Structure 1
Amino acid sequence: MTNMDGESQTLRSSDGHGKAGGWITFPFTIATVAGLNIAAAGWMNNLTVYLIEEFGMNSIDAAQVSNVMNGSVNFVPVVAAILADSFFGCFSIVWSSSLISLLGIILLALTSTIDTLRPQQLCNDGSDICTSPTKLQFAVLYGGVALASIGLGGMRTNIATIGANQFLDSKYQNMYFNWFFFTMYTGTVIGATVIVYIEDNVSWKFGYFVCVAANLIGLVVFLVGSRFYHYGKLEGSPFTSLARVIVATIRKRKLPISAENWYYGPHANDDETMQNSPSRSFGFLNHAALKCEGDVKQDNSIAKPWKLCTVSEVEDFKSLMRTLPLWSSSIFLSTPIAVLISLSVLQALAMDRHLGTHFQIPAGSIPVIILVTTAIFLLIFDRFLFPSWEKLTSQSVTPFKRIGVGHVLTFIGLGVAALVESKRLNQARVGARISVLWLVPHLVLIGIGEAFHFPGQVSLYYQEFPTSLKSVSTSLTWLVIAISFYLSTALIDLVRRTTSWLPSDINQGRIDNFYWVFAIIGVLNFGYYLLCVWFYKRKIGNKVVHHRASNALDK
């Protein structure tokens, strides 16, 4: 089969018969991403409004439900990735998660269709709380939200992994990740605008059933493409081998390591070739592969699995250790973005949102600017910028470069946001409102930065993690988002308690100071990222090379 550039990219199927993988699988996986993200954005983005209007919840309770939902959507991918890598494989997790998501959205659609599944709206006295929902109504509502959240989270990273697994060359894996994120963002924008408009202006029932249809189409398309996919072999739970490395290292920690030591050479992964001696980085872990009397049977198999590990298992553990500092820098990159998204809605409410005399931009739609910008620039990068860069420099745009540029654009965007907020406050103090379009420049900068660093992170983790941890590698970015979401909430609460920057009336506060603090943190975090790259040791073939800051972003 042929890929987009005409180069053969076929892989042997897991049973050894026939060929599978390559660009023929691309329409199926990307259509699945589109359908499920359109459906998800349609119900997620308007959930708070639905709870208030149709279930009579007060705004605080509705926000709490929404927060739990967002946290679940971003934490579930980690659990789903572990299940995929250890037991079931990506294919099974994707289709079952898509089915779970479909069932959840159907339950939400039923609450909007059947009167007995939601409380009757009897608020004629101006009360904030209408007729309280019954236990059955709560059960159906929360059951639908839980199933839809779990299904979306389970699908998200594993569809990225199975899509990238169809290609051998990292160049085409990077191309796939670009298209994956472009499709994800585009689908989210469609759901957050078109479907939300239908729910607000036509009916909740019609809007939710559009979500059902989009999810169903994505699931069916994914299953139709099953005969073309490449299915990787499961090696058992990768976390068992990681735990064995820790236990074996502790048990043999007192043994001396010298040039005369013998290491256990058989490889955990048949498709990898590893030198007999482990690398010197994290040298204390090498104890786990030291061969001692009684560790190996006569047939050269391991006699005591929790006392001896293979060299490749030790190196897999080291690859995880080497990546963690880089991963931690992404937390401090994503947290300011989460804060900015939350506060930009409050800023928009205090600004002139009119376009012409009849149309007013919804404040809640302002963050969509980031999604639209990211989607557009992902397309520009993949089709124009990156190919042109490769032709001019004969070098590819690696994940290191993408993440680094994303850092820079993010803290520049935060600085611009601080300047815009300062201008808005000055005008508010004299009773004037500036146009909401003043928010566009820094939101666009943040969106361009996200187009650089978000796919770059997924690509980096995917390429650097061992084969047995591919699904977990792609889930790390969503774990970053989840941590950043909760961390941003905690930081906003801390600032409200300790300063006067975030009062109820933001015109009396200093959000610009908040942005300046994050801009400075962004600069420091970029320095931390460069330091991490400086000391990063990356596996290339059989060797582990030391990256210097001067060239780490160029190779």
Structure 2
Amino acid sequence: MESLHFEEGAQQQEASNNTDSKRGGWVTFPFIIGSHISLTLVAGGWASNLLVYLITEYNIKSIAATKIFNIAFGCNFLFPIAAAIISDSFSGSFPVVSIFAFVSLLGMIMFTLTAVIHSLRPPQCVIGSYPCETPSNFQYAVIYMTLLLASLGVGGTRFTIATMGAEQFDKANDQGIFFNWYYLTLYIANAISFSAIVYIQDNVSWGLGFGICAIANVIGLAVFIMGKKFYCQVKSKGSPFTSIARVMVAAIRKRNILRSFGSHNYYFGTTEALKMEDDASMKSLRFLNRAALITEDDKQLDGYYARSWRLCTMEEVEALKTLIKLIPLWSTGIFLSISIGISSSLITLQALTLNRHIGPHFKFPAGSFLLFNFLATAISIFIVDRFFTPMWRNLTHRPLTPVQRIGIGHVINILSLVGYALIEIRRLHVVRTHSHTNQPSLVVPMSAFWLVVPLAIVGIGEGFHLPGSVALYYQEFPISLKSMSTAMISLLLAIGFFLSSAIIDLVKRTTVWLPDDINVGRVDNVYWMLTVIGVVNFGYYIICAKLFKYQNIEEHDGDSRSAL
């Protein structure tokens, strides 16, 4: 695979380093990727099987466990944003990764202790038997602290280490090779976690499974620190959020200035006014232009003007405008994240009630079913990039735009929800057919591998909309806010998982669809509800897409700036 020619890239970088004594380059690659593999293995090792652990070892009822599961995953995607702000504004990448890798280790030690020390969890209870002793306040506090440490560890390392890896290279080609290896190893490490680690936890020992993750964490932290003398450490350059806040504050402070001005009255800083005089974007959201309006009060003691909380450059103003124009289109992805969050937790509950045997002796872990979604996403990304996109160009004589790619993902996601609902209808039919007793949590004589079909469809949808979203935000965000582009995806997933927990709680309170024993509930109605909302959300997406105009028109063929 051309993009994975590590040896070739390494040789090129080595030749370059012979004449350049600065740090960084391919010598840092083994340390960064080695620690990345270990820390990804750790994250998948506790997150992939968390729902099963809470239900089987902590006797937490299924729906309550799904809410904890979704909140934990929401934190996994929210904390990277905080880590990026800290890294950009204060410390740089190396201290952030080092500290949070250690925090991750504390979390894995806590997980291991909860698994081996019986007093840290309630007495084990067979699923379906009543009554089961619930965790005490102390035991809840321990598991919540464990989840907090583990989530902080994931949030502070996963994306920050990718940024640090890219910082080691000056050439875009070398950065591209690094990112290909980063994502390849991300998939490989997650595949190991979702299969081997989960199998050990389910069939050998939870303590051993978490213990292996703790050892991997130690290795990852040690490997990362060992490379310190080779790293090129980029100094913090300030948070882009500060620039956004300054524009808003400056515009509000000058809100009473009503008369119109020409472009010569605005502060452009190092940007030439001629480049922006005819820019149509200056005519939109004019209120924000006030932040760059020059007044006598903005003059410094030396007689010059400078950026402050009263005066911003037009470049900063336009950056905020771009962000505001992207928000409606971005907001349509919230429901996608909600549906993924709800289905990823309910799918595990469904798998626990179904026949998971492969042959007479092997029982497929319920927590490993999300592996099929993961594999489908990886395969579909490859197929879309290598086959679907060129075919689209040949048929339409136009490139597949990011907005179109996201839209296809919306449609496929709706189809997956229909698939989930139909399989659940079949599962409930089998439950009613074979249930002759009032025994709760009946194991349904139906293969759990029917769930692979909608999981694969979801993965195909993610193969369209996730890369499309990354491409759109990275392409459209102004240079000063490029570091926020990937954070927008992380924020989407965080909001989605948090809201999915709230929606599950609302459905449980207002309907009978989600009892603790889903065999007597109507999970299919939950999926139908999500399907209807998904259709409405897709209509909203179409409206937003038609109204959206690409700013970086040079990225697209043709003269039209329309997103569709």
CA shift in 2, pair 1:494/1:132, >3 Å:
closer
CA distance in 1, matches of 2:177, 2:540: 28
Superposition deviation, residue 393 in structure 1: 8.2
CA shift in 2, pair 1:65/1:529, >3 Å:
closer
Counterpart amino acid of residue 37 in structure 1: T
Preserved CA contact (<8 Å) 1:75 1:153: yes
Which of 129, 135, 139 is the aligned partner of 2:133?
129
CA distance in 2, matches of 1:168, 1:541: 26
Are 1:324 and 2:327 counterparts?
yes
Query: Residue in 2 aligned with 1:302?
Result: 305
Q: When the two structures are superposed, what TM-score results if normalisation uses the length of structure 1? A: 0.80
Preserved CA contact (<8 Å) 2:348 2:369: yes
Q: Which runs of 5+ in 1 are unaligned?
A: none
Which of 77, 80, 97 is the aligned partner of 1:77?
80
Superposition deviation, residue 245 in structure 1: 0.9
CA distance in 1, matches of 2:299, 2:293: 11
SS at match of 1:288: helix
**Seq. identity, %:** 45
Aligned length in residues: 541
**Deviates most, 491-500 or 437-446:** 491-500
Preserved CA contact (<8 Å) 1:106 1:212: yes
Counterpart amino acid of residue 419 in structure 2: V
Are 1:458 and 2:474 counterparts?
no
SS at match of 2:151: helix
Query: Residue in 2 aligned with 1:187?
Result: 189
Which of 464, 487, 494 is the aligned partner of 2:506?
494
CA shift in 2, pair 1:248/1:404, >3 Å:
same
CA shift in 2, pair 1:400/1:225, >3 Å:
farther
Are 1:552 and 2:563 counterparts?
yes
SS at match of 2:450: helix
User: Per-residue displacement from partner, 1:401-459 (whole Å, max 9, x unpaired)?
Assistant: 43222212111211222333333444444438443232222111101111222233234
Are 1:436 and 2:448 counterparts?
yes
Preserved CA contact (<8 Å) 1:199 1:207: yes
CA distance in 2, matches of 1:444, 1:367: 9
Q: As a proportion of its length, which structure holds more helix?
A: 2
Query: Residue in 1 aligned with 2:294?
Result: 291
CA distance in 2, matches of 1:208, 1:468: 41
CA distance in 2, matches of 1:231, 1:397: 37
Query: Residue in 2 aligned with 1:448?
Result: 460
CA shift in 2, pair 1:436/1:174, >3 Å:
farther
Superposition deviation, residue 297 in structure 1: 3.6
Preserved CA contact (<8 Å) 2:71 2:497: no
Counterpart amino acid of residue 282 in structure 1: L
Counterpart amino acid of residue 104 in structure 2: S
Are 1:251 and 2:262 counterparts?
no
Are 1:512 and 2:513 counterparts?
no
Query: Residue in 2 aligned with 1:33?
Result: 36
**Deviates most, 238-247 or 442-451:** 238-247
Which of 353, 375, 380 is the aligned partner of 2:378?
375
CA distance in 2, matches of 1:385, 1:541: 23
Counterpart amino acid of residue 107 in structure 2: G
User: Per-residue displacement from partner, 1:374-420 (whole Å, max 9, x unpaired)?
Assistant: 23333444566557777998976553343222212111211222333
Superposition deviation, residue 335 in structure 1: 1.1
Are 1:354 and 2:366 counterparts?
no
SS at match of 1:309: coil
Counterpart amino acid of residue 276 in structure 2: Q
Query: Residue in 1 aligned with 2:421?
Result: 418
CA shift in 2, pair 1:154/1:396, >3 Å:
farther
Which of 515, 539, 548 is the aligned partner of 1:527?
539
SS at match of 2:265: coil
CA shift in 2, pair 1:423/1:43, >3 Å:
closer
Superposition deviation, residue 257 in structure 1: 2.6
Superposition deviation, residue 310 in structure 1: 0.9
Superposition deviation, residue 243 in structure 1: 1.6
Which of 281, 285, 308 is the aligned partner of 1:282?
285
Preserved CA contact (<8 Å) 2:267 2:293: yes
Superposition deviation, residue 288 in structure 1: 0.9
User: Per-residue displacement from partner, 1:96-130 (whole Å, max 9, x unpaired)?
Assistant: 222221232234335556x5984796999987339
CA shift in 2, pair 1:119/1:511, >3 Å:
closer
Query: Cα RMSD over matched residues?
Result: 4.4
Superposition deviation, residue 264 in structure 1: 0.8
Q: Which runs of 5+ in 2 are unaligned?
A: 435-443
Superposition deviation, residue 309 in structure 1: 0.8
User: Per-residue displacement from partner, 1:255-281 (whole Å, max 9, x unpaired)?
Assistant: 32343652112149x9x9963677323
Q: When the two structures are superposed, what TM-score results if normalisation uses the length of structure 2? A: 0.79
CA distance in 2, matches of 1:237, 1:532: 29
CA distance in 1, matches of 2:398, 2:219: 39
Are 1:482 and 2:486 counterparts?
no
Superposition deviation, residue 329 in structure 1: 0.8
Preserved CA contact (<8 Å) 1:182 1:379: no
Are 1:201 and 2:203 counterparts?
yes
Preserved CA contact (<8 Å) 1:536 1:546: no
CA shift in 2, pair 1:47/1:414, >3 Å:
closer
SS at match of 1:284: helix
Superposition deviation, residue 515 in structure 1: 2.2
Counterpart amino acid of residue 128 in structure 1: C
Counterpart amino acid of residue 275 in structure 1: M
CA distance in 2, matches of 1:168, 1:414: 44
Which of 158, 161, 165 is the aligned partner of 2:160?
158
SS at match of 1:279: helix
SS at match of 2:532: helix
CA shift in 2, pair 1:51/1:515, >3 Å:
closer
CA distance in 2, matches of 1:210, 1:302: 59
Counterpart amino acid of residue 198 in structure 1: I
User: Per-residue displacement from partner, 1:295-329 (whole Å, max 9, x unpaired)?
Assistant: 23476743682221111111221222122222211
CA shift in 2, pair 1:458/1:93, >3 Å:
farther
Counterpart amino acid of residue 363 in structure 1: A
CA distance in 2, matches of 1:130, 1:235: 49
Preserved CA contact (<8 Å) 1:181 1:455: no
Counterpart amino acid of residue 375 in structure 1: A
User: Per-residue displacement from partner, 1:29-48 (whole Å, max 9, x unpaired)?
Assistant: 44443321211121233445
Counterpart amino acid of residue 251 in structure 2: T
CA distance in 2, matches of 1:233, 1:443: 42
Superposition deviation, residue 253 in structure 1: 2.3
Preserved CA contact (<8 Å) 1:535 1:546: no
Superposition deviation, residue 195 in structure 1: 1.3
